[in-house]
Amino acid sequence: MTTDPRDPGPDAGAGGRRRHRAEAGTRALLAAFTVGDPDEQLRMDDLLAGLGKRVFGMLLFIAAIPAFIPVPGLAGAVSGPLTIIVGAQLLIGMRRPWLPRFLSRRGPYRHTLVGFERRISPLLARIERRIRPRMSWVLDHRVAAMFTGLLVVLLGILLALPIPFTNYLFGALMLAYALALLERDGALMLACWGTGVIAIGVFGVASGALAAAAAHWIGMLL
């Protein structure tokens, strides 16, 4: 019988399992979440446990999934706000994400992850051959992390807005940010920065969507 060198084994204990999750690739993590009762609702606390510096990446990955479910309004109601929460916490320099209790004790149903894993696994397999831990300063430097957070907040606002035919586009971009954080790939994050700035300029600034959203929210506060 062969043994996966990344498998901590049955006797490794909680510490070994935490190290295993901190080192496993994104595809392996996603596949692990799909094992079990398909009707079970997974808790965000459990999905994020033991990921160390990669925890924001997993939270952003989960936040992007509803953008690919063809249910009207789901991306705006779930993906957008959750993405904004992740970005805001990166922006203010939090080392671990905070979620309200009602969110931390809820999460996606396992069958949702199963369907998503089946669709995205072949693409992840190709992507994982090209990404790797590198240029960690892009992920860890305080100013760089703040810039990432700012872009994620703005993209989350755009994802929450009813802009036609953009759910998949912004969802894919969020997955790219998530992969950069999960795989600790600073070069990929630099590419995400450039793509994010272009997307914000085209769909947010040029279309006036961000200004309209800001005016609406300010009007609600006054």
Provide the pLDDT for residue 77.
81
What is the tens place of the pLDDT at every residue in 127-140?
888 899 999 999 99
DSSP letter assigned to residue 43: P
Is residue 25 scored above 90 in pLDDT? no
CA distances from 51 to 4, 47, 60, 95, 211 (A): 19, 9, 13, 12, 36
Instruction: State the first-to-last Cα distance of the chain, in angstroms, to the nearest integer.
Output: 67
**Residue 212 to residue 124: CA distance in whole angstroms:** 36
Domain spans, the chain: 24-221
Per-residue pLDDT tens over the stretch 143-165: 999 999 999 999 998 888 888 77
pLDDT tens sequence across 28-49: 888 888 888 989 988 888 888 8
* Whole-structure pTM value: 0.79
pLDDT over 60 at 17, yes or no: no
Highest mean pLDDT among 19-23, 113-117, 159-163, 193-197: 193-197
Closest CA to 179 of 21, 50, 27: 27
Q: Give 164: exposed, middle or buried? Use CB within 10 Å, 0-12, 13-18, 19+.
A: exposed
Q: How far apart are CA 123 and CA 43, in angstroms?
A: 26
